[in-house]
Each structure stands twice: as C-alpha cells, then as structure tokens.
Structure 1
C-alpha cells in the first residue's frame, strides 16, 4: 500500500497505524504538538488585547480538536478509502492553513505592539515570540499536509 517515497499508494487512504508512516498523514502528530504549543503559550500570558488574541486561541483550539478528531477517524478507517474523504482532507488542511496564517500574522503584530508599549515585560515578550514561531511552524506543517493531500486527491 505504501510506495518507496512514503506516500500512500494513490487511490487509497491509510488507516490504523499506517497514518503514522505515510505522507501526508505523518504530519498529524507534529501539527498537534506545535498547535498545542501555540495554545499553551498564548494561554500562559495575560491575554491583552482580548479580541485579537481570542482569534488566535480559537484557531489553535479549533485546529487542535479537529486535527485530533480527523486523525482518530483516519486511524479508525472511517473513510473507507473514499475519494470524498480525500477531498475533505485537502479542504480541512487548506482551511487550517488560512486560519493559522491569519492567527500567526495577528499574533506577530500584537507582539510587536506590546514590545513598544511602556509596560514591557521581557518574559511575556519571549513567550509571545515563541508562540509566533510555533504558529508559523504549524502553518507550514498544515501547508505541507494540504499540498500532499491535494496530490493524493488528484490521483484518487
């Protein structure tokens, strides 16, 4: 079922532990870890301003929960190797890229604004920088997953 390149053979979707060894599904765990780190880092500081960082929290929690559910459904074989699931996989990961990119840009902007504020806290700034880095790393992981999912869907 798996080719030498690690891509699941075209026309099938992996299930069970195979999702941990085939591209693009191998990205589920790193997406969860990096996305969870964004969630934790943003939540560990005083959320100010509330609304923009509320979007960042929504994105990180939404994508974490959906990716976990998506991974469980793939592992359980709920997809029955259907082309509709291949398309849905691409659509979900493409949406996650847009969400995380917007959240990362917003988080980076707020971090820069907070740095120039009079009440500058170096520890909070460092945590915010780490959150920005992980937000963009997570965006990259979702982007790679989306591209590989599109390739798999195209060959379905």
Structure 2
C-alpha cells in the first residue's frame, strides 16, 4: 500500500510533536520549585531565640535612641556606641524578618547556623565593648539630661549584650549539632 504525501507528513508531525526538550540549571530548579508566597512562622516568636531577638530589637532601639537624643557627636566614644547599636539593630531586624518569613528555607546554599553563630558572636563581643566603653564615659560632670540618658543607655546596652550572649549560646548549640551530623 502506498502512502499519500499528506499522510506521511501527518505521521512526521505526530512523531515530532511528542518530543520535548528542556534544559534548566540547578540554580533555576532550586528556586522554581518553591512557592512564590512567603510563609509566616509565628511559632518562631515563641522560642527562646525568638524572644531574645525581639528583646534585642526593643532594647537596642532604647540604647541608640537614648544616645541620639543628646549631643553625643561631641564625644567620639558615643559615635562608636551609636555605630554598634544601630548596625546590630538593623541586622537583628533583618534576621528577624528572615526567620519569621522562613526565607532561610528558600536559600539552602547559605549555611544559616554558621551565619547565626558569627552574627550573634560578633554582636556579643562588639556590644560588650560598647557597653563597657559607655559605662566608663558616663560621668557626673555632664549635664543632667545627657548623664541620665547615657546612664540608662549604658544599662540597656548591658542587657542587650546579655540577650546576644543567650542567642550566641543557642546559635552555638545549633551549629554544633549541625556539624556533628
């Protein structure tokens, strides 16, 4: 039996229509497999690290606003304290958003336990230096407004330091259990 030219053409179309070629990189595959909506992990705020992080944000805000309400720029040590307080306040707020929205699950290439340990460890160290520096810089010779603001800020700086110390401990425990696996 002889095939008509249009039948041969239809068979070729059917054969080629079932062939699909796709390519993708591993980077694209990783991000395309996740959903596009952000998740909300309200349970994080009920954990000890979550509570400590909220305390760091609230108390850290007190540290730098109490200093900012004075003429701190006349004393170089308070410039350093402002840098540490504002820098870690912004980063802590950033990490809180990352943990609450579970963004860390979308970027598995980042070693989040190591990042958390380095962040909390450096915050502990630099906040401790800033708190001690501030406590040493506060003297009765200042006007009463600056003295009261800086004394209160110094107190809160030590409290924030202890919060970062607690989070550094929990970050270390998490990092240690991750590296032992």
Say whether the fold is shared (TM-score over 0.5).
yes
Q: How does 1:5-154 map to 2 (within 5 A)?
A: 16-47=41-72, 49-80=74-105, 84-112=111-139, 115=140, 117=141, 120-154=142-176
| Unpaired segments ≥5 residues, structure 2 | 1-39
- Between the aligned partners of 1:70 and 1:121, the Cα distance in structure 2 is 37
C-alpha distance in 1 between matches for 2:163 and 2:117: 13
Number of paired residues?
A: 137
Q: Which runs of 5+ in 1 are unaligned?
A: 1-14
- Hey, what's the Cα distance between the residues in 2 that align with 1:48 and 1:22? 38
Measure, in 2, the Cα distance between the counterparts of 1:153 and 1:96: 17
RMSD over aligned Cα atoms: 1.8
Q: Kindly state the Cα deviation for residue 124 of structure 1 after the two structures are TM-superposed.
A: 2.1
Runs of 4+ in 1 over 4 A off after TM superposition: none
Task: Look up the SS of the partner of 1:24 in the other structure.
Answer: helix
2:28 paired residue number: none
* Maintained 8 Å contact 2:73/2:79: no
Matched residue, 1:10: none
Q: RCO higher in 1 or 2 (8 Å CA, sep ≥ 6)?
A: 1
